[in-house]
Amino acid sequence: MDRKTFSIAILTLTAVLLLVACLMPAKPAAAQFAVKDLSRYQLITVQSQQGGDILYIIDPNGNIAVLGFDPATKSLRPIAVGTIDKAFSGG
């Protein structure tokens, strides 16, 4: 086997491996909940029931802002702002 044939074989093998890698289904990104410290803002994302994503921003003073991302318009819009006490007391 000469050098030219060996090079062609390696390139063919590489092309086959790249083709197989491209045809495999991609795994979607998934995040886990983590808290580093309570002296900074906390950001939490969830999927909306209407489609898109919801972003919760919580500051150390107990204020919360809820923002929604609309994939149709690709825009971020405010949904609600208040305190955590009001958010969970139903008031």
CA dihedral 34, 37, 43, 46 (to 10 degrees): 30
pLDDT digits (tens, 9 = 90+) for 5-28: 999 999 999 999 999 988 988 777
**SS3 of 14, please?**
helix
| Cβ atoms of 55 and 44 closer than 8 Å | yes
Strands (E), 1-91: 42-47, 53-58, 63-70, 75-83
Query: In which region does residue 52 sit, left (phi positive, over 0), alpha (psi from -120 to 50) or beta (all else)?
Result: left
Predicted confidence (pLDDT) at residue 90 exceeds the cutoff of 80: no
pLDDT in tens, 61-76: 889 999 998 888 888 8
**pLDDT (tens digit per residue) in 31-55:** 666 666 667 888 888 888 888 889 8
This prediction has a pTM of: 0.54
Domain boundaries, the chain: 28-89
| Paired strand residues for 57 | 43, 65
